[in-house]
A and B are shown apart, each in its own frame.
Chain A
Amino acid sequence: MAIAEDELLKWKFRRGSPEALARIYEKYLDSMLTLAMGLLNNRAAAEDVVHDVFVSFARLGPGFRLRGRLSGYLATSVVNRVRDYRRRSRRQVQASGRESRPARESVEPDDVASFTEQAAQLNEAVARLPDEQREVVLLRLKTDMRFRDIAKLQQVSINTVQGRYRYGLDRLRSMLNGEVEK
């Protein structure tokens, strides 16, 4: 059903349907937020990334033509914007010699992404993975992206991606030892 729905959503969105856009947003907001949060471990930056991804997506409108899955497209957009954010942050660090601050410093209490304590612990562990392994693990497990598509995104072979996935899980297993079954 979800598969059929996405195809119809793509088709309707291409034809300018606001309802389709709203449904796509509603359907994928949390998973994209989770992905961005996992990649950045910075709530404000993650929200900004997801905001920019959906706003850019909305602007595609009638010209939008997608080969492949909607979730994969949005996840790829998140990853690209996260990479941009990291590059900007590194430049800022180099320029100022200090850590960059989150994109927005203060938020209202209910204006935030909420998560459980366990999710926070898992996210902390994921955040300690190298960037490439973190991307693979999150894309695979949070967006169901295929290794082949992740390989395309990371511009490496599928074997490299599968290796990164294995190493990433091994590290997580070590870090989460004793925590997973809670």
Chain B
Amino acid sequence: MKPKKKVEKAIRNKLWFTAGSTLRDRLLTDVMNAREESMPIRPVPCGPGIGRRLMKTRIAKVASVAAVIAVAALALTFWSRSSAPAYAITDLPMLLGEIQTLHVQSTVWLYETDSNQPEFEQAIVIPCELWLDVPGLREYFTSSSSWSRPDGTRGISRIEGVHTATYAMDIDHTRRLVWFNKTSPIMRRLTIRNQIEDRLHRITEEQLEHFVRVGQETIEGVLFDIWERIDARKKTRCWMAPATGELGRIYIWAKDHEDRWRLSWCAEAIERDVEVPEEVFAFDPPPDYEYQNTLETATLGEGLGRGWYFMGRARVCVAVSFTLADGSMIVAWHSDDLEQDRYVDQAHLFQDLTPGGELPKLPMVVYGLKTIPLEPYSRPEVVYTGRHLAYTKSDRWYYEWALFVPTQPSPPAAAGPEVVRMLCRFNLPVEQESAVGNPVHENPIAPDEFDLFVRGAMAELSDDGVAPGHVTYENVMALARQIRESTTP
């Protein structure tokens, strides 16, 4: 008997049929004739590469969004069958987790009233594109942000970025600026993983339960179920093929100040596991733009790239944060006193600390966390108690890795959007009141991701490149249980 590999090899390499020249030419003639016959207009000349194409697209101005929404609504074929789908919206996290590459072409919709024509409103439609290469930790995106100045001038910045495992290039096409940064491998990995959900507008696991199937539509021969979720101010509609789990479209509407639903974002081309053209990730900025720095002078921002911010007299860097399977969180931060020498040694603050014990008396201490619901139906606020877990030292900075455990026995799942904010107190020579700080990123981590992300981040923020030995998933879970038992009634 021959091994299967040899059979595979034989079929792959030896089983070939080649068209003869006459057949080849005859078929080609038929093919080109068919193309000619099907062309209603002259072919559009091909422009430059994909990466630059969207940047040259003129911002479209549409008279009325209502027409578009109406057309979309008319296109829906509401169904009355009760067939059970092979894939439902709740399968989305599993499907997203398998993605190797992702390509999303979407549009952002902004609205403004023309002062000369106040009865009309114009929509500004901004095309955006995303390419993700998950194994390669690479990302290409175009996006936009609106801005306004105190003098009343307003505008939209068009951003293009290529972020790889080692460097990031960002281009502001409005201000004609280019800048480079170094990237943290662990943060790239985390960002890429989160991007899949973020770029599809955070259709996360806990939110999926609130989707209902409202219809079906066939797009290009593929049958899609239409899933909808309506929040107080946001409506999401997601087209998902029950046979394959493929996403066809995602539309997001937001309520304006007059409580009208306005299309705010839509993706009509969502391709997963497509092969990514290599040139998409090329660092190829326009030569006539102003360069803020170069690849050679690019740096990594403080704390895995997050950088600093200020709370009164305290300077703070929240490097990274994770949410564990039991709902507890790990947050790593550093802070110092703006009025003191920023290089003052803080080693003494970390002496005699024990896991589960008091936090170090840094100039700013994150003593707890608090969820803040963004919509009325969300769960009650949840407060987390902070305890010391470990510390690392990177260059001259000491990072506290604190464990935050919910004080409620079993916090209910969030029904809607919410943020987790830091509860901060200060150890400064002058009085500074406790404050609610910035939101922290939740970054949910599965148990089998603990070593990769949590210990990986610790190692990256350690001079010796090694995470503290006692920080294992099992130890952290046990510590969280102890803290919960000691703090819950």
Residues of A within 8 A of B (CB): 1, 3-4, 6-8, 11-12, 15-18, 20-22, 25-26, 29-30, 33-34, 37-38, 46-47, 50-51, 54-62, 65, 67-69, 108, 110-116, 118-119, 122-123, 126, 137-138, 141-142, 146, 152, 155, 169-170, 172-174, 176-177, 180-181
- Given known A17-B43, A172-B11, contact A7–B276 (CB-CB < 8 A): yes
Interface residues in B47-69 (C-beta closer than 8 Å to A): 49-50
Please give, as numbers and ranges, the residues of chain B lying within 8 Å of A126 by CB-CB distance: 11, 15
Stretch in contact with the other chain, from B34-42, B147-155, B411-419: B34-42
> Is B129 positioned at the interface, with any CB of A under 8 Å from its CB?
no
Please give, as numbers and ranges, the residues of chain A lying within 8 Å of B20 by CB-CB distance: 110-114
> Is B230 positioned at the interface, with any CB of A under 8 Å from its CB?
no
Q: CB distance B22 to A59 under 8 Å?
A: no
Q: CB distance B44 to A169 under 8 Å?
A: no
Q: How far is the CB of B102 from chain A (nearest CB, A)?
A: 12
Please give, as numbers and ranges, the residues of chain A lying within 8 Å of B4 by CB-CB distance: 169-170, 173
Q: How far is the CB of B124 from chain A (nearest CB, A)?
A: 24
Residues of B within 8 A of A (CB): 1-4, 6-8, 10-12, 14-24, 26-28, 30-32, 34-35, 37-39, 42-46, 49-50, 220, 243-244, 246, 269-271, 273-279
18 A-B contacts (beta carbon < 8 Å): A7-B276, A16-B44, A21-B35, A25-B31, A30-B16, A37-B17, A57-B31, A62-B44, A110-B21, A112-B23, A118-B14, A137-B11, A152-B243, A155-B243, A174-B1, A177-B2, A180-B10, A181-B2
Sorted nearest first, the 9 A-B pairs with minimum C-beta distance are A16-B43, A3-B275, A58-B35, A4-B277, A58-B34, A59-B38, A7-B277, A111-B22, A55-B34
Nearest B residue to A146, CB-CB? B273
Q: How far is the CA of A38 from the CA of B17 in the complex (A)?
A: 9
Q: CB distance A69 to B274 under 8 Å?
A: yes
Q: CB distance B8 to A3 under 8 Å?
A: no
Q: CB distance A3 to B277 under 8 Å?
A: yes
Q: How far is the CA of A47 from the CA of B45 in the complex (A)?
A: 32
Partner of B12, one of A15, A17, A51, A141: A141
Q: CB distance B11 to A141 under 8 Å?
A: yes
- Given known A21-B31, A55-B30, A119-B16, contact A29–B43 (CB-CB < 8 A): no
Q: How far is the CA of A155 from the CA of B241 in the complex (A)?
A: 13
Q: CB distance A152 to B23 under 8 Å?
A: no
Q: CB distance B35 to A4 under 8 Å?
A: no
Please give, as numbers and ranges, the residues of chain A lying within 8 Å of B277 by CB-CB distance: 3-4, 7-8
Nearest A residue to B49, CB-CB? A8
Q: CB distance A38 to B7 under 8 Å?
A: no
Nearest A residue to B268, CB-CB? A65
- Given known A33-B17, A110-B21, contact A51–B27 (CB-CB < 8 A): yes
Q: CB distance A30 to B15 under 8 Å?
A: no
Q: CB distance B246 to A114 under 8 Å?
A: no
- Sample of 11 more A-B contacts, CB < 8 Å, known A11-B46, A33-B19: A4-B279, A7-B277, A33-B18, A51-B30, A65-B269, A67-B274, A110-B22, A111-B26, A115-B17, A141-B15, A181-B6
Partner of A68, one of B8, B12, B273: B273
Q: CB distance A122 to B11 under 8 Å?
A: yes
Q: CB distance B35 to A18 under 8 Å?
A: yes
Q: CB distance A68 to B31 under 8 Å?
A: no
Q: How far is the CB of A110 from chain B (nearest CB, A)?
A: 5
Please give, as numbers and ranges, the residues of chain A lying within 8 Å of B271 by CB-CB distance: 67-68
Nearest A residue to B105, CB-CB? A65
Q: How far is the CA of A103 from the CA of B266 in the complex (A)?
A: 47
- Given known A15-B43, A18-B43, contact A54–B12 (CB-CB < 8 A): no
Please give, as numbers and ranges, the residues of chain A lying within 8 Å of B15 by CB-CB distance: 34, 38, 119, 122-123, 126, 141-142
Q: CB distance B18 to A115 under 8 Å?
A: yes
Please give, as numbers and ranges, the residues of chain B lying within 8 Å of A59 by CB-CB distance: 34-35, 37-38
Nearest B residue to A123, CB-CB? B15
Q: How far is the CB of B391 from chain A (nearest CB, A)?
A: 45
Q: How far is the CA of A180 from the CA of B3 in the complex (A)?
A: 10
Please give, as numbers and ranges, the residues of chain B lying within 8 Å of A152 by CB-CB distance: 243-244
Please give, as numbers and ranges, the residues of chain B lying within 8 Å of A181 by CB-CB distance: 2, 6
Please give, as numbers and ranges, the residues of chain A lying within 8 Å of B8 by CB-CB distance: 141, 169
Partner of B10, one of A38, A122, A174: A122
Of listed B6, B32, B276, residue having the most chain A CB within 10 A: B32
Partner of B6, one of A4, A54, A60, A180: A180
Please give, as numbers and ranges, the residues of chain B lying within 8 Å of A138 by CB-CB distance: 11
Please give, as numbers and ranges, the residues of chain A lying within 8 Å of B275 by CB-CB distance: 3-4, 6-7, 69
Please give, as numbers and ranges, the residues of chain B lying within 8 Å of A17 by CB-CB distance: 43, 46
Q: How far is the CA of A7 from the CA of B10 in the complex (A)?
A: 29
Q: How far is the CB of A139 from chain B (nearest CB, A)?
A: 11
Q: CB distance A119 to B30 under 8 Å?
A: no
Q: How far is the CB of B1 from chain A (nearest CB, A)?
A: 6
Q: CB distance B17 to A119 under 8 Å?
A: yes
- Given known A141-B11, A180-B7, contact A61–B38 (CB-CB < 8 A): yes
Q: How far is the CA of A61 from the CA of B34 in the complex (A)?
A: 10
Nearest B residue to A172, CB-CB? B7
Nearest A residue to B270, CB-CB? A67
Q: How far is the CA of A58 from the CA of B27 in the complex (A)?
A: 11
Please give, as numbers and ranges, the residues of chain A lying within 8 Å of B44 by CB-CB distance: 15-16, 62
Q: How far is the CA of A177 from the CA of B6 in the complex (A)?
A: 10
Q: How far is the CB of B225 from chain A (nearest CB, A)?
A: 16
Q: How far is the CA of A25 from the CA of B32 in the complex (A)?
A: 10
Please give, as numbers and ranges, the residues of chain A lying within 8 Å of B19 by CB-CB distance: 29-30, 33, 47, 113
Nearest B residue to A34, CB-CB? B17
Q: How far is the CA of A180 from the CA of B27 in the complex (A)?
A: 33
Please give, as numbers and ranges, the residues of chain B lying within 8 Å of A37 by CB-CB distance: 17
Nearest B residue to A15, CB-CB? B44
Q: How far is the CA of A59 from the CA of B31 in the complex (A)?
A: 8
